[in-house]
Structure 1
Amino acid sequence: MKHLFRIATNRFTLDWHRVRENEHAVLAQSMPVMGRLRLVPHDDGLQWRDLMMRNGVPDALASDASDPNGPPLYEQTEYQLYLRGANDGDTVEIRHRDPVITRALNSQENGRVVHGSVNFRGQIGRSLFSIYVNGNRTLDFEVEVFPTKIDYESDYQEIVADVQSILTNLAYEYLRSTHQMGKRSRDRPPSQLEWLILIEHIFDDLDEAMNHIAQRPTRGLVRRERTTQLERIRRVDSRVRSQVRRGRGKGALVRLDGFSLREQITERPAELTLDTMEHRWLRNQLVDIQRTLGQIANIYDCEAELSSRRKRTSEGITRLKSRVSRLLNLEPIKEAEGDPPMGFASLQLVSAPGYREAYRLLMFLKMGLRLEGDLIQLAVKDLEVLYEYWTYLTVVRIIQDEHGPPQNLESLFRVRSSGLSVQLKQGETQQVAFAAGKHRKIRVKYNPQFANQDTTLIPQKPDILIRFEEDGWPIIQLVADAKYRIDATDKYRQQFKSFGPPADAINVLHRYRDAILEIDQTESDALGLKRSVVQAAALFPMNLSPDSDFRDSRLWQSLERLGVGAIPVLPSNTAFLKEWLLSAVRQGGWSMADRAIANSADERSRDWRIAASEAVLIGTLRSPGTQEHLDWIMSERVYYQPYAKTQPRQHHVNQVAIYTPASLGNPGIRHVADVRSFEFVDRTEIATPWQPRRNEPMVLYRLSPIRPMNREIKFTSQDYMPPQGRWTTRLGLERARSVSEVALETEPEWRLLEWLHATKKTFSIRLASARSQDAQNPRGRAWFHFESGDRVRFDGKNGFLWRPVEGTERYFSLRDFIQHQEA
């Protein structure tokens, strides 16, 4: 059992362990050096103890509650936690939004101790726990869960971006143990799931705004007719005078100043009222919220038994309905009757205190959501579900690249809802068809079910089915099963000569191949059954370079020899899947093409993918004393930089490159060194020929011998180097030809750049202002500008953000953007 971190305070102590040292096989190319442990105290009397520790974090920082770094946690890994109250008689409790993650925790010693296991299963992202002492919320701590089989900053993000390209809320759920960060989007109305996430996000602020309105309402003036005694009339207006002249009114005639008039006259005095158009508009919005919550609640009311997650969701909706009912009973809202006119607009509604906040928050409910940003917590689907959706989409795209768009593209977007969960529709109706010639058709089906009693003894349901229909030939089918599981044991590798999906997943493919049968209409016997699946492959998430020995593995070779095998598939490596599919798409199912030999371009592409995950610091030289600083770096082989809590890349820098300014000749990046180690020191502890300007925490990098770069990165008239230096990756450093290109840190940006060069398109690169990168969602700061004035930038999980001169901005994956440009 490995001790990962301890939170020690005067109120409690929490220890978090990993149960087994080598429980998970870490197969991703780039694993995090630092994870996340963010502490948020809610008790003013909370004090930190010296026993605080975080595995992998220097002792000097482990006790710093404001430092968000901690040990990384992983999917499909069992952790053990032990929480104990610090004082006799104190009871402790640990809570989480998702009841599933805490169901294995037990309370003992009359509530003084909580212990048990935690397993995030296939959920990736941040997870927030709350510690309660004696029923009072004392501390929140947030950890981050990383995948072990795929790269978090490239493969995972592209999987999410591709799934979002079908339907945004197809990528996430309402309630899960982990979350990603998202933002509001104005490009479409929200689904029920998105709407409920938004109403939860804004309700506290909406409650505050509505209470402000109730305490300081803005009243309107209204005139209502009433019959009043003559002596009580305070204001004589034209209406009163008219009634006197004409003898109108009620009661007996009386004489007053020589005039005969009635005892009672009708008047219309001005009165203050809360029944204003603004209050009517607010009431209508709240009634709509209550109605929508009721519709969502009905989904769960119809179910006899609810799972713990669905029960927690139902309880949350009930609480929201109760809070809305309280707002509807506030005096200004309760007094409002009727509807405002169509298209109602009011300066008071958008500018008055309380009203403007309520208006802005209620308008947020008209927006959708996107999985990028830092405003809203979004619970993403389990990774195995996302992986299954992504593999289906990838198979469709590979065939689409070969034969053009499908004949029924709308079928790809069919979804079904189960409560607040949205899934791809399954079965025979979820299929897309491609015309592969005059007499040939290819169909790709998602989760078809074979349950015909004439052809199947036990129903079969593969993930993906590729069906070839050609005149004069029987039905030919390929099966692809997405398996987000890997057996990385030595025994498995010895048997199959590679890591791959578990043996039971391979056995399922044998069953599909033998159990999925078609009635041969050419047979005289109507029940003549024939096997139609010629090959079945398990698709599993693993990065294997083209020059690896996977082609010699039994998993790959058995595809041709036995018709059953396995293929590694990730966004950064679809070459094997593409080869397998195109061998059938181009030549038919009877004869599979020989496997292609890996080329040097594939090997270099793999190296660039790895380089895109390695952080590089572009260091600058002090001025004055530029030459002295450079000489000192080369002789001492160290480089220092102020420590920044918001810059996690400081913890895992692979290389430091030095920018040489114009004062030493031609400006550019000329030298580079590998980072051997780093440490945190005060500036006064670093011995330099010059005196420090001030004492502050520094990150001191110890370097290998500084060497000239194989190729200098030149400084052009359009380039700019900030005085504090710049971050990039080894990919940006090794591929850049100019200082501006160094800012291209990610693989998608370089893929776009290569395509632009290959197609000889005219463009320029302009950099947006520098900002801290989000480790979960790195985004490019380089805009590619085209002659037309249109521009595009890599925008993380959403793919590429396209901003045309005319029209609405859109998000594309790289593949779709290239097709859009070539169209």
Structure 2
Amino acid sequence: MTGLKETRHQSLSEFFTILQHVFAQLVQAVERINSSPHSKHQVENRVVEAGRLKKTGKESISYLTKRPQLLVQDDKLGFIPMNGQRYYPSHAIETKRHVDYDTNENRFIRWVLLRIASKLKDLKTRLTEKGRLKDPLLARKLNDMQSQLQRLLKLDFLNVKEMRQLSVSLVLQMAPGYREVYRNYLMLMKGLSIQSDLFRLSMKDLAQLYEYWCFLKIHDLLSRKYELLKQDIIKVNRTGVFVTLDKSQKARMVYRNPRNGEIFTLYYNTLPSGEQTPTISQRPDNVLTLKKNDSDAEYKYIFDAKYRLNPAYEGTPYRRDYKLPGPEESDINTMHRYRDAIVYAEGSGKELERSMFGAYVLFPYHNEEQYQEHKFYKSIELINVGALPFLPGSTKLMEAFLDEIIMDSPEKAYERSARPRGTKNYYENKLIGKNVLVGSLREVQQLDDALQLKFYHVPLENISDHKLLTQLEYVALYQSIKKFEPRGETGIHWYGKIVDWKVIRRKEITERPARPGTEEKLYVKFTVSEWVKRDKPIIPGGRGIYTLLYTSKYVFDRALEIAELKLETEEDLRAWREQRRLGPVTVELDHEQVDLASRVLGVGRLSST
């Protein structure tokens, strides 16, 4: 059902399809050339002794005329008379003629076979990498072709030099065998076109075609960098190939990020599973769902195609408000509606949550550089609602934005979306992350060195979860009762903001001498900008810290005893905050060492006694 067509970008599938059709003819043509290859006669002249000379010619006369020293006088054996004497040459030119197959035409034949062998090798490698070389018939066919090519390349007439340029001679055009190879070569350079009614195209509305194109182009941009795992756009049955992309159908493309293994899905004309609209049904054109590592939430973004452009003519309200051409205001309002109306519930009876993190209009506009000054482009960064120009020649902004949201961390993805007023203060009053490390000190001198040199070090083995290193922002120093009570300073007095940290061996920390046997152990060295002394120290309260513990800056700033730094659950935090409003609080733990305690036994007010 296909025919040949001119193409600049031939795929390996097209090449292999054409090669299967012409390979037998190609092999037969090369074998026919082998029976009578094109050649040229080469004349070789060399200087030999006269006694070994078999055949000579005029070349010897010219050679001896310029070299009289090669003539030997001998009146008996000489046969060249000169000045009454006879001479014979000691050396002369011997002429040999032989057949040479190193012609441009034979070089071309060898180049064609090598090029085919290289493409077959590339095809085999690509299929193996994708795990698709499981068809025994296909594998056998590729191996047979490669064996045939290697056999042909060993023919004597193909023992020639590399082809430097292609000149189409009469031999390539008319000589038996050569003309067949040349014709097959021209066919192998072409692509394939559908020549039957395999695809039946009907008239489509231009806006609907733009909607189709937006989905397919988003897929194209994603498939260039990410691995396609699953698709249901193109379906195959016994009657042929069918494209199911239309307004009444749903499509889904599943990809995998090769860098980190994250899975994300592009939906067309449907909402992801679990999404609902309690009021009016919403159906955006394209929804991109991202599932990020280390996060249970899914981050969903709407890309809605709108084939409408406001040209912002002089004197119009749009020109006055936005200065530049862009999407219609009503389309931006639709994005606000999509983002707010589509919600998600994890199960029956669960609280509904807004699930769309961003919504964007895709509209036909070509000048991407100019559009970056538009209000609806800048609004994407502010509230994650806006518009992006999208045309066949204008896809850079869209491609960059897709890469950005795919590579976002879960925290950054969450921060992109606009939140209700008061959210920041609300979450500041929650235990949202442990960004403070509280470490113990082995001796008094370690405190003096740390304060003077602005650093703190701790064995890497004491940090159970290395991921915590990336979220730490502060380090605090705990001064135990046993070592620091004589100085009158116990508890936590000093803390500093971390400006750098690195994992190194103990012997590389030269600020303090290493204990014997620890030189090769891995340590984490924290560098702080400056040490800050608390107005009120966090007192031990009868407890201590054995190695180190983690807490949040919110709890650290408000704690009065080190046991309060162990608060980890939302319930304990809420109880602690409520009790603190009424007076001093006691936190009961299941171990005297706060960092070794496994749970909080209770939170209550201190008695008046």
Q: What TM bracket, shorter-length normalisation?
A: 0.3 to 0.5
Greater helix fraction, Structure 1 or Structure 2:
2
Query: Relative contact order, CA 8 A, sep 6+: which one is greater?
Result: 1
TM-score after normalising by structure 1: 0.29
TM-score after normalising by structure 2: 0.38
